[in-house]
Amino acid sequence: MATTAQETKVWTIDPTHSEIQFKVRHLMVSNVTGKFNSFEGQVETAGDDFSNASVSFSADIDSITTGNEQRDGHLKSADFFDAANHPKLTFQSTDVKKISDDEYEIKGDLTIRGTTKPVTLKAEYGGQMGDFYGNTKAGFELTGTIKRKEFGLSWDAVTEAGGVVVSDDVKLLLNVQVARQ
């Protein structure tokens, strides 16, 4: 069977070469960085071109880490992600548009804590390369910002001086390598 440019291809996230991170302002003076250690996802394409791809992704809330065990426990609690009742966050693309040779815009539905909202991510395409085992890999750096309170992550506190402890804006940074199946 001959391969055509329109043949559907499935790419899966390579977790050993990918990072799913977020940053949030703390006390409005510095950022706290966190990441998810357990996640999975796939991209379906027509041929090797990522234009009009379909992207799906999920992360295990219990795998969240910020480098501070007490803070991680608070993030997993009902004050934030409520991992006991909402063990995963998910993303499903609704539109992938090629902006330039190395830039894409990915629109989709992000679900956190049972709340689904549309988000837009910018994706910088790093290209494709074969690895030592004959696998074809592609790399992307995705960025975006969400409002955590829109997803029910509404815990808040104010310092004695009247400052906000945790910003509503959360920056997303995903460095993802996918392998063609």
Predicted confidence at residue 111, as pLDDT, reads 98
8-180: which CATH topology? Lipocalin (2.40.128)
Predicted confidence at residue 153, as pLDDT, reads 83
Cα–Cα distances in angstroms (integers) from residue 105 to residues 95, 102, 109, 115, in the given order: 8, 11, 14, 22
Block residue for tokens 């949030």? 24
Q: What's the length of the chain?
A: 181
CA 69 distance to own-chain centroid: 22
| CA–CA dist 166, 172 (Å, integer) | 15
Closest CA to 147 of 120, 169, 119, 121: 169
Give the pLDDT confidence of 70-99 residue by residue, as tens digits: 989 999 999 899 999 999 999 999 999 999
Residue ranges of the domains in the chain? 8-180
DSSP assignment of 153-168 = -----B-TTS-BSEEE
DSSP assignment of 17-40 = G-EEEEEEEETTTEEEEEEESSEE
Predicted confidence at residue 26, as pLDDT, reads 72
**Backbone dihedral angles phi then psi of residue 117, each to the nearest 5 degrees:** -135, 150
Angle ∠(97,171,122) on CA atoms, nearest 5: 15
Q: Which two tokens stand for residue 139?
A: 């790399």
Low-confidence ranges of the chain (pLDDT < 50): 1, 3, 5, 163-164
